[in-house]
Structure 1
Amino acid sequence: MPITTINTEHLKALDDELSQRPIALDPGGYYVIYLDREASLICAKHYTNTINDRGLAVDPDTGEVIACGGKKVERVAETLYTARTAKELCVEAIEKPNPCPITMLDHAAYLGREFTKAEYALVNGTEYIQD
């Protein structure tokens, strides 16, 4: 069987294009994912939010819009999840909490992808940037 070469530039272009698609925000909240290299952990801070009538995430206490860029709103995380692998983090952040803070399946799929990227970066010593 011949070996097929994978065009990684094409795959990156596809991922970049898909990252630009519009998404609906999860009323259950959002996660900030990062690595704690000293402890060899993947970390995910969960923040609550509500979605306003314009489809924007807002701080449930102040009603202030939570922007992805520009002015930063100082917030306190609801929960910090840590794990050694992407699978362990999925169990801790998605499967164990009752009720689950994730209310949308596409958000759960996104988190699984991001946790996997974070694990790869942790294991390989590369930079992790949340999409």
Structure 2
Amino acid sequence: MDLVVEDLAAIDHKLSQRHIALDPGGYFIIYLDREEGLIYAKHFTNVIDDRGLAVDPETGKVIPARGKVERTNTTIFSGRTAKELCVKIFEETQPCLVTQLDHAAYLGREFIRAEMALVTGQEYVQD
């Protein structure tokens, strides 16, 4: 059976539309610094309210999923590869900031995508 890139992209696009439970341990904003050759992951804390929405622990306001949000990160991680970032976040940081396995899997996928974009020069947009 031949793998068709468009078919694989369609599967990923469809899966990206599903509902996910938010991690009470917080969330990460991932971006590249091409000049430094690094992938960055900023960690932000949040509280999950009774509706399942992420809320700013300081203001109690819902954190929007889209658009610009003015918040201060708690930690910034950087690495040259996805593996280096995963070791820093999941093995070296105690207690671990990620409390759900699906969130850990998502971050691993995103770090690989970011690494590939860094290596190939392609644009990286966090899913």
Tell me the TM-score range normalised by the shorter chain: over 0.9
Match of 2:46 in 1: 49
- Count of residues paired in the alignment: 127
**RMSD of aligned residue pairs (Cα, Å):** 0.9
Query: Distance in 2 between the 1:56 and 1:31 partners?
Result: 16
Percent identity, please: 64
User: Which residue, 78, 85, 90 being the options, matches 1:89?
Assistant: 85
Rg comparison, structure with higher value = 1
Instruction: For structure 1, list consecutive stretches of 5 or more residues without a partner in the other structure.
Output: none
Gaps of 5+ in 2: none
Please state if 1:26 is matched with 2:27.
no
Shift of 1:52: 0.5
Please give the TM-score of this superposition, normalised by the length of structure 1.
0.94
Letter in 2 for 1:97: T
Partner amino acid, structure 1, of 2:27: Y
4+ residue runs of structure 1 moved beyond 4 angstroms?
Answer: none
CA distance in 2, matches of 1:33, 1:10: 26
